[in-house]
Structure 1
Amino acid sequence: MVTVREAKLEDIKDIAKVHVDSWRTTYRGVVPAEYLNSLNYKEFEDKWKSRSLRGVFVAQDEKDTIFGFASFGPIRSDQEGYDGELYAIYLLEEHQRQGAGKALLAKGVEFLLHQGFSSMFVWGIEKNPSITFYQAFSPERIAEDSFEIAGERLKEVGFGWPDLSALKTTLNR
């Protein structure tokens, strides 16, 4: 059983742990191991403490243990026709493919719609094995770019949903 709710300040430590641990499993073999091994909880906690938690949602189990999070808000890049963005969605490996990602996505889409956004964009590392999660909800592939982590050049793909209301309908099926 998964519960999705708005993140609170007292969740930051758990969000940081999920962030680091999920990066280490999701990007194993994609991002250099030295970089993944260098990630630490305290740095991620500090980064989360410096951000607003508006548009951040957590997934927790029946014991109230946080095992995933997602973050949404205004688009940060110039993508014609898109106004909202899914910044991040991460789940601990043992909780993936059980519906929590879809529940987080649905909560974020509702949030964006309530804030007046009509579309949503997301960047994903092309070699991320979880990129199929986005593809399951029929986005348009609208952009490509690349960036560097620890000397490794990584290609990223931009997906977009031009109609958030249609995505909400799909997610509620």
Structure 2
Amino acid sequence: MIIVKPAQSKHQHDITRLHAISWQSVYTGLLDEKYLSEDVFQERGAIWEQRFSQPSENQRIYVALENENLLGFICIYLDQDSEQGTLIENLHVDKDTKGKGVGKALLQHATRIIQTEASHSGAYLEVLSQNISAQHFYDYMGGKPIISQQWQAPEGSFVDELVYGWTSTAVILER
């Protein structure tokens, strides 16, 4: 049974690991090979160290667990943008559990938090243009591509991405 709950510092290492492995899998061929093979764990580790040690007031991190094993995580920033609403900064699911409802459970949990804690009902996220499977998931969850832009990756490369948005996150709970 999948349980979604607030992340604790004890989850930091597993979140970092899953984030880095996810990037290695999805971003191969898009980001610098040396970065993905050597630097991504340290760089993502620094991000998560900061998020856990000095969280911003609007930051929320949730984990999906089964028997205390991390299946996925989501990190959101409530009311990050006055027009778009809450930023879904990260949503990653272990590749062995994709297609089993973990991403949906995390996104729906975050939606309930947005509806109770945010003043804006919308949400948005950024997804690489080449990450077609993630786009299909966001389409299914009622998201719409609203902006095409470039993202400067931590190692300096520029990659095409889409901004997906929900004018109201209520549609996410209907899926």
Identical residues among aligned pairs (%): 21
Aligned to 1:141: 145
Give the CA deviation at 1:40: 4.3
Matched, 1:59 2:61: no
Give the direction of change, closer, same or farther, for the CA distance of 1:124–1:40 in structure 2 (3 Å limit): closer
Give the direction of change, closer, same or farther, for the CA distance of 1:40–1:127 in structure 2 (3 Å limit): closer
Aligned to 2:170: 165
Unpaired runs of 5+ in structure 2? Answer: none
Aligned to 1:123: 126
Confirm or deny: 8 A CA contact 1:2 1:60 kept in the other structure.
Answer: yes
Confirm or deny: 8 A CA contact 1:26 1:93 kept in the other structure.
Answer: no
TM-score, structure 1 normalization: 0.85
Aligned to 1:100: 102
Give the secondary structure class of the aligned counterpart of 2:164: strand
Unpaired runs of 5+ in structure 1? Answer: none
Separation (CA, whole Å) in 2 of partners of 1:138 and 1:40: 31
User: For residue 21 of structure 1, what is the amino acid of its counterpart?
Assistant: I
Task: Please give the root-mean-square deviation of Cα atoms over the aligned residues, in Å.
Answer: 2.0
TM-score, structure 2 normalization: 0.84
Q: Deviations over 1:2-41 (max 9, x none)?
A: 2111101111111111111111112223333222112343
Give the direction of change, closer, same or farther, for the CA distance of 1:77–1:84 in structure 2 (3 Å limit): closer
Give the direction of change, closer, same or farther, for the CA distance of 1:40–1:29 in structure 2 (3 Å limit): closer
Give the direction of change, closer, same or farther, for the CA distance of 1:61–1:87 in structure 2 (3 Å limit): same
Separation (CA, whole Å) in 2 of partners of 1:119 and 1:38: 37
Give the direction of change, closer, same or farther, for the CA distance of 1:42–1:28 in structure 2 (3 Å limit): closer
